[in-house]
Structure 1
Amino acid sequence: MTRTLEPHFTVAFRYAVHFTRDLFTPHNPVLRLALSGRADEAGARVLCVLDAGVVAACPGLPARIAAYFAHHADALTLAAAPLVVPGGEQVKQEPGWTQRVQDAIHAGGIDRHAFVLVVGGGAVTDMVGFAAATAHRGVRLVRVPTTVLGQNDSGVGVKNSVNAYDKKNWLGTFAPPYAVLNDLNFLDTLGDRDWRSGLAEAVKVALLRDAAFFRWLEDHAAALAARDPAAMEHAVFRCAELHLDHIAGGGDPFESGSSRPLDFGHWAAHKLEILSGYALRHGEAVAVGLALDCTYAQLAGLLPERETRRVLALLRALELPVYVPHLDGAEQDPGDPRSVLSGLNEFREHLGGRLTIPLLTGVGQVTEVHHMDMALLRRSVQVLRELYGRNPQGATCQPLTRPAC
């Protein structure tokens, strides 16, 4: 005799994404309200983890955080002095950093009614999010992203990850944050490359979901590239809004299926990051991935040439790369892990099921394909190399620099 039980239930998730300035100024109530809304009578217990690059650019940050908590001591308690970890992909590449954060969670007595507050770029928020999601089966995470890409994309979503097996984001969790606090003042500390590279995600989501936003980006590209703060504030807010609309309303927030439209351009981008030894920023790699997939869509007869030209023109106006030499590696053999084309199979494996690639049929219009023609992909690389190979704008892979905070 066979008996079967099939429980069926749903779990609702809700979290706030706040946009503010001077988050750690004592009179700003955003942090206090975010952390104390559901705290017990003893107040919210908090472990802070800080990105070393942000601390270097803002050397007074640990003291400002301590002063904020002291001012709000009736509601907030620091569990320990802030833990400082390296910024950039190093922190996702070296597994010891995840253990360091978990050690601090344990030593600080951070339970599921306490908080981990992470301040940093996308790699740091990814790693700390993974550590928090695997401690006590998930402790509350509050993100304070400090980059354009963190505030408009990775920091506002539900994914956390680290790298493993020479693959991007191979280990990870789906765990929505408790809250996201975007302090727009942190964007002023970014070097030019990181200011611009996060805009690739804005171009991506505009191409997928909002033709009017794409036209706005075209109209304001010069201002954005010139670091106009008002233009960037709008771009960050609208990009975050579109990403959150998809997560909340797209029907598959934890990506259990094989369709991931927000990963447009990412099959090549993730591989390019690895092939460059992470010298390419994620946003720069996404820009190249968008250029490649749009060129492919045009050659495949899906996307009109004038629309491809608009995409490439906007990326270059934002001073983002559309071609890098890593596209030509290992003779473009999809079976060779040194080739960008091998990223297709790694992307399929990461999604599970059959290969599903989003491609454009127009600005704001997307379709999905389940096969990519290798000859046509090689031709797409050739087109980009012939047009832009002598001037791979934005792809200089210079070291990260930040102005002073």
Structure 2
Amino acid sequence: MGNLSAHEAYFELACQFFWRSGFVSSPGSYLVHNKNRGIVKVGVGGGRRVSLPSAAQSQFRHTTKDGQDTGLFDVLNASVDADAPCFFLVSPDFKRAFRDARLPSAVFEQPRLEFRFSAATPHGEVSYAQDSSGVREARQMLSELVDDIIVPLGTPIPPAPLSFAEVSDGWERAESDAAFLARLEAGILALQDHPDGKMTMMRSFCRAIPCNVDRFDIYRQHARNNGEYACSHFFCLDETTFSFGCSPENTFEIVGGDLHVDVVASTCKAGQGEAFERRELIENPKQQKEHLATIESRSARYAPFCEAEGMTLIKPMQIKRLRHVCHLHSLVVGSLRPQITILDIIPTLFPIMGAKPAELLSLSDSDKSPHRFYGGIVGHWEEGYAGSFLNLRNALVQGDTIHAKVGMGVLRESNAASELTETEDKISGLMEAVFQCCQAENRA
């Protein structure tokens, strides 16, 4: 990998520590790399887990508060330890008819031990332990597992991204390209009556994954490949079920008394040069419309949690570069009202990727397969900070099967064939990491 920056080095050290610890496949253990903050958190399971069942399985009645279903989250609010950090995953399927009954609607995992890695402390420090004996155990782990690690680490990243045709071999589509194009065309047709309308449409993929391909290696390669993500994660739900991904954006972060919201919308193919990116993103009316509409809708969504001045755009339309795609990225910020917490905001988010106007939601969400955790939220909180990220460019491994989804924003000006190509570009980042790890294992 050549010489690593301080930023890359602390991530590699954290990954190596996590792998050496043996907790990678221990239920409840996690690694979260928050690039927005420049921090990796490694949590050791065995603390407290609050796992919320799907709505169909739930024994709890849903109540309505300001039009939102809150029953499951009321249970959560009463169950978590307010003094401990927490990693969480929430599926959008609790609002949908299509669910995987093997999975919970949400998991909130509070660790037994937690470690922090950053550019300032690349060899790690103890950030949480339940008691003094836990502190001693955590310090011993750092001493034994990190001190002799030599950087640079990792495997080379190919200079050019592999194509969708190369990396998609072995993946099964839940519907054919023709069927997906027909859904897209129906959506675009419906939007002709709604000049300011927008819908998010998705498609599903899966493939067999050999048992000898390390699940954590796939995550690590995915994170290495996709540089400018906002937050990546790896989480062991149980001995055979793993969630991982590299999200390009938060849904919100609470930093001190401020609410920070990423707006990542509008996409073009990466690696074509700055002139191409500017033409396709900055100067393209369709891309501008999509991005500005998303800024408006996100600002309106979070304004009720902020002081009277609402949300302010402080970083407009920067280009975020990932391995296979580029996006327009803006940042809006507001001053949080007193006493508002992350658990006040989370129940109001769903459906995150829906439709405007709402009457188009059934057409937008016409993929009749479970999202599992795709399009939900993933994040972490601790004292003084809470971050929730849109769970995109992610996968769920269940036994010997890996599930993935991809989505795109559709406007009345959209072209179905172009949107199909965009889905291929977006999901190629994840597929490339799987391809690389399978190839490496075959050569071993």
Same fold (TM over 0.5): no
Normalised TM-score (structure 1): 0.29
Highest RCO, 1 vs 2 (Cα 8 Å, sep ≥ 6): 2
Higher helix share: 1
